[in-house]
Structure 1
């Protein structure tokens, strides 16, 4: 008898894949573009109140949240072995196609996906303190 319930690898891979395909690009956009949308403070002797202050504060908060989450993703990726981290990086950080990944690594699309799925499983354990993407049977 095992102390831990059995990991449902298929569902866990789906959860992590969904995270990298849906949430990860949003976090990247929030971390990079929302910051540029924040208006520079007006420098003058008088404080100025704008109706957009709340919106700017919300954007700043979301930007800080997104940057923090991306740092946690990168830290979790640091827990993966080099081969798996490399495939994950090429696919989701550098947004390369499977053809480009094959050119760089020599792994065909099928083998590349197998390695990526293994990377997803490794990531699910490394990221558990931030967000638990694991599924159990």
Structure 2
């Protein structure tokens, strides 16, 4: 193995493709919809920011000190959820044309897998064996907020990029 190969392996360890695909399915199928709800955004208007959060109110009664009050916590959670939504949409946009179309239909427009492969024009088996896994791997590469890859280790164990 050359020095360049060693550098590449240390910077970009081998990915467990099957587990990375499953991790992306979980993220896009469970985490993303929850973050979409928390963010106050919808898939149709993910750019719009909702600013309907209340400011903290004072009632004059002493309270135990906290680092964040409820309004602050809500603001932080909503802002982080909005970042997840924004970065997810950006990552989908960085995929190739087929991946972008598939992931947009499946996870932004809530199409079923059947609707996706029929709309795109692939057979069921080709869709599930090649097209969807390839799109999910592209998404894992393009998503910049967290590392969605699951890596192979030298002892054939896997480790999460998160």
Shorter-chain TM-score above 0.5: yes
Going from structure 1 to structure 2, the CA distance change for 1:102 and 1:15 (only over 3 Å counts) comes to closer
- Correspondence for 1:90: 105
Correspondence 1:11-50 to 2 at 5 A:
11-32=19-40, 38-39=53-54, 48-49=57-58
Closer/same/farther in 2, CA of residues 72 and 109 from structure 1, 3 Å limit: same
Give the unaligned 5+ runs of structure 2: 42-49, 62-67, 153-162
Matches within 5 A, 1:110-129: 110-113=125-128, 114-127=130-143, 129=144
Note the alpha carbon deviations across 1:74-122, whole angstroms, 9 max, x for none.
2222220011111111111111113322442223333333312111111
- 4+ runs deviating over 4 angstroms: none
Q: What do the CA deviations read for 1:45-70 (whole angstroms, capped 9, x no partner)?
A: xx95259x932332222111111111
TM-score (norm 2): 0.67
Instruction: Specify every segment of 5 or more residues in structure 1 that has no aligned partner in the other structure, as ranges.
Output: 42-46
Cα distance between partner residues in 1 of 2:52 and 2:93: 31
Instruction: Please give the root-mean-square deviation of Cα atoms over the aligned residues, in Å.
Output: 2.6
Decide whether the 8 Å contact of 1:84 with 1:118 is kept in 2: yes
Matched residue count? 128
Distance in 2 between the 1:10 and 1:102 partners?
20
Residues 2-26 of structure 1 deviation map (CA, whole Å, 9 limit, x = unaligned): 4323221111111111111121111
2:120 match: 105
Higher relative contact order (CA 8 A, sep 6+): 1
Equivalent pair of 2:32/2:84 in contact (CA under 8 Å) = no
